[in-house]
Each structure stands twice: as structure tokens, then as C-alpha cells.
Structure 1
Amino acid sequence: MSPGEVVLALLRRWYVLLLALVLTAAGAYHVLKPAPRYLSSAVVVLKPPVTGNQPNQFANLQPPLAAVSYAVVQQLKSPAGEAELRAAGVHGTYRLLPRNSGTSVTPAYLIPSLQVQAQLGDPGRADTEVRAIIAAYSRHVDAMQAAEHVPAASRMSVDLLVPPNAAQVLGTRTRALAGVGIIGLTGGLLAALWTDRYLTRRRAGGGRWRRTAARLRPMASR
């Protein structure tokens, strides 16, 4: 199609462009007036047992602890783990993020700390869901050690470093508006051109059928 034909097609299907404009305006309204969302975040660490050589548990955070923590995270991310969290009342969007606590001395992801996040429309419920996830994480750590018959005095423990704290999630409205505008403009133009082509072909097909019927009618009368 030439540029002129495109313009004529858009003018013929102005009502499609109008519908796209209305839908884009509705999307822009939701971007400007979004429902409040709150992100609750907490940090836990998997600590080794107290020993005579290492009385300070935080001074003995070895890489194998991070591997154990990662294994527990994988359990909670499995279908069975997700069902367990749903049964515990976790219904919002949540994430379990091993923290990159690496430095120039300690490589990344070798410190067994874990960031737990939950996002909901209510800050209190978001904090509650984070606590439920931490409780499930602790249960899995205890169950893993109990299955291996680890003595109670030699078991790892979960410590809460940063308690759950919910903060409102604020996005960039200008970017969101730009995205809605681009989607609305592109979708409106494509929908109008597709509608014009469809209706034009349908009209042309109907015209051929009527001409064929008109030619066959005298033959049938004979």
C-alpha cells in the first residue's frame, strides 16, 4: 500500500482509531491512578552451630551453608513448595533472592543470607506473608537436618537480620505513559488497516458472488 492508500484506509476506519483512543485513555488513567502496591522485604541468614573454635556464629559463615540455603530455596520454589506457601497464606507475589554479599575477599553468593520479598496491596499483609515464608524456610532447614539425624547441638539455625518492612512501590509514570501511548498508537493503526483490508476483501467477494448469481439467473430461467 502506498502512503496515500494508508491514509485513506485510516480515514475510512476512523471508528477503529476512536476505539483505540478510548482504550489508550483508559490505560493511561490506570497508569496515572494505579492501585497502591507495597513491597515488604526481610533478610535472613543461615548460621552454623556454636563451636569451641568459632563461638561467633557470624564469623563462621562458610560456602557450604550457602549451598544448603540454596537447596532450601529450590524446595520452596518447586510446585510442592509453592503449594505449601499457598496453604500457609502466601497469596501475593513473592521472591526468594540469595544476596550477593561478595567482596574483594569473599566471592559472590558464598554468604548464606537470603532476601525474602512479598508484594501486595496492603502493607500489613505483605509483612505477614514475608514472615510466613521465613517460617516455611526455617521448617525446611530443620526438616533437612532432622532427616540426616543431625544432633540438636550441631544444627544450623536461621536468624533474622532485617525484619519485614513494607514500602510503597512507586513506578516511573512518564515511562509507563510512553509505553501505553506506543502500544495504543501501534495497535490502533494495525487494527484499522486490518479491518479495512478485511472489509474490502469481504465486499469484493460479495460483489463477485452477486455477479455470478446474476449471470446464472437467465440460464436457470431457460
Structure 2
Amino acid sequence: MEKVFNYQRAKELMKEKNINQNDIVFFLSSEGIDYSLNGIKNWFRTDQQTRKVPEMPTIRALAKLFKVSIDELIIGSESENIIPVKQIPIVGSASCGIPDANALQETDIYTYTLAKDWNGEMYAVIANGDSMSPMIEDGDQVICDPTLDIMDGDLVHYQVDGESAIKIYKKDTKNKQHVFIPVNQDFEAKRFDIKMEIRMIKVTDIQRSVRNNRKARLRALGF
């Protein structure tokens, strides 16, 4: 049987979490997904012939809104059109500008990665600032994996002396320093003595935020 959208479970979750169809329209818009109220009503038609099925990016967004696994919104067996995904907690923000103090704050929101790439130690942060533009833009979701080794040239999420930021890593053996390099040349590299205690986690994926990339779109057009 082909996997399909579990509209009945979606209705149950809407009731449990006091979410209506207008709320869904607003949330999807905030995620960069355009849906009319009539379009959403079509998901819940009792007539199977006229009932519509949302696309997978929309179902992923709904799972985020309802704070459930995407599996709760899908019924059926394996299908070539379905890519298995796993939840990753978004634990806070990390600077891509002036380093943030206390950037990691527990929240109850999630993003997703492919199941084949997932492990239980992965987490994500929301990028804040322009120092890594255009590689990472303000508002992007940055996925990090503490189980991976870090090499020169890797993107890392680092924490030191209360700072939390995302940069490109380089070990300066000659000067015995850890160097964290921005992409945007309007910002300077950060240097720390190699003996300092620094927590570094490798960045494995960047998920673009359509909603928050207004400045990037204007910059690409020369404004």
C-alpha cells in the first residue's frame, strides 16, 4: 500500500493542540509554504475521490507545528516517493555575527534530517547574523553532529568563554591558536590560544529559511 497523508491523525492533533485551519495557513506561510484556507480544507474531505494530499515538505512542516514525528502523519508501507526522516531538536541560536552569550537555550522545536544520516546526539541551532553569508544566512537551521571529527576547513559550532558561534575552523599550529573564520569579509576571524578549553561541534547540514532570507535575496539582486 502506498504511503498517504494521515488526515484523521492530523484532525486529532489539531483538536489536542487547539490548532485550527487558519493557524495552519499562518504557520505554513511562516515556513515559506503558500497554502490557501480552501487548499487545506481539501485535505480533510470525507470523499476520498476529491480529497487532496499535501506534499512531503508540507507534511514535514505540519509535523513541526504539531511537535510530532513525521511518521504520525503518514500511513502505509514503504514507497519510493517517501524519504525516511528523523527529528533533531533545535536547542537555541548561534551567532553568525558578534558571538552570542548563552546561545544554547532548551526549546521544544525540531527540524529533520534523513534517517540514514541521523544519530541521537545530533542537534540544530538557528543562525543569527551575517558573518557567514552567503554560505549561511540569518535564520537558517544549522545541523551539528558531535560524533564527527573536525578538520581544517570544516564548518563548526563552537563555544568558548560564554560565546556561541558558527565559523570555518583552522588550526594555526605555528602560532598555537584555534582560528574561527567568517565567510563575510566585513567580519574578522576569532583567534584563541590552543590551550583554551573550547567546545567544537562539526556542522553537517544547513537548511535554508525562506522566511528569514530577505536580506540575502536583496543582496543577490545588487541592493
Task: Normalising by structure 2, report the TM-score.
Answer: 0.21
Task: Normalising by structure 1, report the TM-score.
Answer: 0.21
Which structure's residues are more often helix, by fraction? 1
| More relative contact order, 1 or 2 (CA 8 Å, 6+ apart) | 1
